[in-house]
């Protein structure tokens, strides 16, 4: 079971000033005016969120949205802060796509991340910030970019996994020794389900990044981060277009699976019909020669030879004809 955990850090001029200090000291660093403060809260309880809202004077509606798991990804500006919420993606061991809600409260000097569970590892984000420490002088906007950049990278990794699944499904469709049709259909359904979860996160992210980018070009803010956010927005568009392409491919695979199943059924029916026609020949001839009335060759050896010859000749003729028509 995930337990509440809080991690804190403060920077001054891009240099780490303090780390893992008590939660109630956040406002002290914020009030200093020259510090950038980050706090990460994992699996928060109501008391921690209430304390967070009091420390940073957060809007109660934003705090309520940070608790919800089914909120649509969005970015909202409030008088005292900007609120952002979205989902991180990961692949579980069974191959399914899992979501982890990640929310952000960004004020002028503070940046707070709220994770509802530990499904999203915050350490790669911290490493991204440390690798681009020169950007931290731009404040919470730089931290926002680093977080979103890591999330979008995970989107690409998840989409790549789904792309590999689609390739495997395409190969299975036309394999010389086709797999069980039910297995292919089940895998197609799982892939469609995973892709639907990814699209539910990726598509709204375009508006989230667009909102943050517009915030970065306002007259009272530095515009040095604009190219970074434009590049991030381009990555989100690519992820969105990739998901659209995969959706079309999965739909095509599903339709092709159904068409191939119908085609295989037709082939089976043709083969059964052809063999039934061939088997009907000896049945008819032996039935005729089995009559209790005299017939040509009745009671003579050449009559039996005639019946056998008729069976062989007609059966071979039917087999040859069906083979030419590709029924056998």
Q: How confident is the model at residue 288 (pLDDT cuts 50, 70, 90)?
A: low
Distance CA 291, CA 305 (A): 16
End-to-end CA distance of the chain: 61
Distance CA 152, CA 150 (A): 5
Alpha-carbon dihedral 47, 52, 53, 54, rounded to 10 degrees = 90
**Coil, helix or strand for 143?**
helix
Q: How confident is the model at residue 225 (pLDDT cuts 50, 70, 90)?
A: confident
User: How is residue 325 annotated by DSSP?
Assistant: T
Q: How confident is the model at residue 328 (pLDDT cuts 50, 70, 90)?
A: low
pLDDT at 299 > cutoff 70: no
Mean pLDDT of 135-146: 90
| Position with higher pLDDT, 39 vs 315 | 39
pLDDT of residue 1: 42
| Position with higher pLDDT, 86 vs 1 | 86
pLDDT at 17 > cutoff 70: yes
pLDDT of residue 201: 92
The alpha carbons of the chain give a radius of gyration, in whole angstroms, of 35
Tokens of 184: 């292919």
Residue 33 CA: distances (Å) to CA of 10, 209, 219, 252: 12, 27, 21, 57
The whole-model pTM stands at: 0.76
Mean pLDDT of 285-303: 65
| Residue pair 140/110 in contact by the 8 Å Cβ criterion | yes
Q: Which residues partner with 87 through β-bridges?
A: 101
Residue 32 CA: distances (Å) to CA of 10, 108, 110, 151: 11, 12, 11, 31
Give the residue among 191, 72, 188, 206 at the shortest CA–CA distance from 152: 206
- What is the CATH T-level fold of the domain 1-121, as seen in this structure? Beta Polymerase; domain 2 (3.30.460)
Average pLDDT, the chain: 83
Residues of the chain with pLDDT > 70, as a percent, come to 88
| Position with higher pLDDT, 218 vs 6 | 6
Q: How confident is the model at residue 186 (pLDDT cuts 50, 70, 90)?
A: confident
Mean pLDDT of 230-254: 91
Lowest mean pLDDT among 14-28, 211-225, 314-328: 211-225
């Amino acid at each position: 079971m995930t337990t509440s955990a809080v991690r804190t850090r403060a920077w001054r001029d891009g240099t780490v000033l303090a780390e893992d200090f008590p939660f109630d000291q956040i406002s002290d660093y914020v009030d200093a005016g020259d510090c950038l403060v980050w706090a990460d809260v994992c699996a928060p309880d109501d008391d921690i969120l209430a304390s967070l809202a009091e420390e940073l004077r957060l809007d109660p509606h934003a705090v309520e949205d940070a608790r919800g798991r089914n909120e649509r990804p969005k970015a909202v500006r409030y008088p005292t802060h900007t609120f952002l919420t979205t989902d991180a993606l990961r692949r579980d061991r069974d191959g399914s796509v899992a979501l982890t809600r990640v929310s952000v409260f960004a004020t002028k000097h503070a940046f707070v991340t709220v994770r509802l569970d530990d499904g999203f590892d915050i350490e790669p984000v911290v490493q991204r910030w440390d690798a681009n420490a020169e950007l931290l002088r731009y404040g919470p906007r730089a931290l926002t970019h680093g977080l979103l950049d890591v999330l979008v990278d995970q989107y690409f990794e998840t989409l790549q996994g789904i792309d590999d699944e689609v390739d495997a499904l395409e190969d299975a469709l036309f394999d010389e020794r086709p797999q069980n049709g039910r297995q292919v259909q089940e895998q197609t359904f799982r892939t469609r389900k995973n892709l639907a979860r990814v699209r539910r996160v990726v598509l709204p992210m375009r508006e989230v990044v667009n909102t943050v980018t517009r915030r970065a070009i306002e007259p009272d803010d530095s515009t040095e981060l604009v190219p970074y956010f434009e590049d991030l927005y381009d990555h989100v568009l690519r992820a969105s277009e990739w998901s659209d392409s995969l959706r079309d491919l999965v739909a095509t695979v599903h339709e092709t699976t159904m068409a191939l199943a119908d085609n295989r059924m037709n082939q089976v029916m043709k083969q059964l019909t052809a063999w039934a026609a061939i088997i009907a020949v000896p049945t008819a001839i032996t039935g005729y020669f089995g009559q209790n009335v005299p017939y040509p060759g009745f009671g003579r050896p050449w009559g039996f030879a005639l019946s056998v010859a008729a069976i062989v000749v007609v059966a071979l003729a039917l087999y040859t004809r069906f083979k030419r028509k590709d029924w056998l």
